[in-house]
Structure 1
Amino acid sequence: MIRYIRLAFLGLLGLCLLTLALANRAPIEVRLLPDDLAALTGLTWSMNLPLFLVIFASIIAGVLIGFVWEWFREHGHRATAAQKAREVARLERELAVLRDSRSVPPQDDVLALLDRR
């Protein structure tokens, strides 16, 4: 059931994006810098693109920037989790060594009697 809902949602989203692309096919000029700044620096790069490509590229750029931003923001949490995982692994190794050392029976009869208490 969830699979069909997901497929219907993706189909509806695809239809909306296709409609948006067909409605915004007119070419626009995309410039690197504003006119005054471009004249000052000599960088007059521009390109004619359909408006829907500019819209879709902006959406994709925004999503990628958001992912990278969150990845950097969560760096502290990941570092703390890795540190705790290393500490747990060290303590588990130490516990295993302690259990192994206690499982060896003492060689002396007096010590064996004392361990039974």
Structure 2
Amino acid sequence: MPDYTILLDALEVQMGLGIHPHEQAPQRVVLHVAMTCRYDAAPEDRIDAVVDYDFLRREIHALATSRHFALQEVLCDAVAALALRDARVREVRVRSMKLDVYPDARIGCEITRRRD
């Protein structure tokens, strides 16, 4: 069966993220998630036949308000773990970008996790 890439792109959340004193208040963070999914058969035209990104979006919003993250690496790992809860997700790529740290650049991290 072919793989399908499900994208949750440019999800903007307000969250505590960073180690600097000015980052203790919530700031804008954009998350990009790409999930490579494999199904036993070609999916039928029903949402229960595929990985539903509504779940991931909802869980990311909950994660963003659950605590302060010091490191983007830890945030990306947490988002990847959420995506990998569904056994049909074979690989997930997560990128986070802090939008407002510098006036001339965005600061980010990207990870890839694969199911063994």
Q: TM-score, normalised to structure 1's length?
A: 0.20
Whose strand fraction is larger, Structure 1's or Structure 2's? 2
Whose helix fraction is larger, Structure 1's or Structure 2's? 1
Higher Cα Rg, which structure: 1
Structure number with higher relative contact order (C-alpha < 8 Å, ≥ 6 residues apart): 2
